[in-house]
């Protein structure tokens, strides 16, 4: 069965879906993630891995549960994600002085160097989407998205 006669998705009337916040967010998320993945693809870094590296740069020594909660990643999914970063030499678990039994998560030297290189690529990715919205539009969008996440507005 050939799919060549299908109309492009932009030509399809999706009915009331186009007025639903969730549908619009999902479509926008897909567009942003596809570009982000393509941007970091040659680095062999997935968006979730980049997020973990950035949190470790900003807040070194956090425990696994803290990082996974901050990023909204289930613990069962976080463990293999972090294990892959550790295996690649980008991050490491180290004992924390406050509690010898607990392990803190840190960037390795290689991870810090890699992340610095990735920041340039991510800045270009961000600029592509900011250009679509304008600086003011980006600020408005980020503010609105923050409101959607804030239980105080519920």
Domains and CATH numbers, the chain: 17-125 (1.10.10.10)
Q: Rounded distance, CA 67 to CA 61, Å?
A: 10
Tens of pLDDT, residues 20-64: 999 999 999 999 999 999 999 889 999 999 999 999 999 999 999
* pLDDT value for 154: 63
Residue 78: count other Cβ atoms within 10 Å of its Cβ: 19
The predicted model gives 1-24 an average pLDDT of: 74
Q: Rounded distance, CA 109 to CA 69, Å?
A: 25
Tens of pLDDT, residues 71-103: 999 999 999 999 999 999 999 999 887 667 789
Answer for the pair 62, 105: CB distance below 8 angstroms, yes or no: yes
Q: With 70 as the cut, is the pLDDT of residue 9 above it? A: no
Answer for the pair 106, 91: CB distance below 8 angstroms, yes or no: yes
Answer for the pair 56, 111: CB distance below 8 angstroms, yes or no: yes
Pairing of strands 91-96, 99-107: antiparallel
Q: Rounded distance, CA 64 to CA 7, Å?
A: 46
Residue 144 CA to its chain's centroid (Å): 18
What letters, b where the CB count within 10 A reaches 16 and e where it falls short, cover 106-140? bbbeebbebbeebeebbeebeeeeeeeeeeeeeee
* pLDDT value for 6: 47
Tens of pLDDT, residues 106-140: 999 999 999 999 999 999 999 999 999 999 999 99
């Amino acid at each position: 069965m050939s799919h060549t006669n299908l109309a492009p998705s932009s030509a399809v009337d999706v009915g009331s879906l186009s007025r639903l916040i969730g549908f619009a967010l999902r479509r926008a998320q897909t567009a942003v993630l596809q570009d982000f993945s393509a941007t970091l693809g040659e680095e062999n870094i997935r968006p979730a891995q980049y997020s973990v590296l950035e949190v470790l740069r900003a807040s070194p020594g956090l425990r696994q549960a803290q990082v996974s909660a901050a990023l909204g990643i289930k613990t069962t999914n976080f463990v293999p994600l972090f294990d892959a970063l550790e295996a690649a030499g980008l991050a490491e678990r180290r004992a924390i002085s406050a509690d010898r039994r607990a392990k803190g998560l840190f960037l390795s030297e290689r991870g810090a160097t890699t992340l610095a290189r990735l920041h340039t690529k991510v800045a270009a990715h961000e600029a592509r989407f900011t250009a679509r919205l304008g600086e003011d539009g980006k600020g408005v969008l980020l503010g609105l998205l923050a409101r959607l996440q804030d239980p105080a507005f519920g």
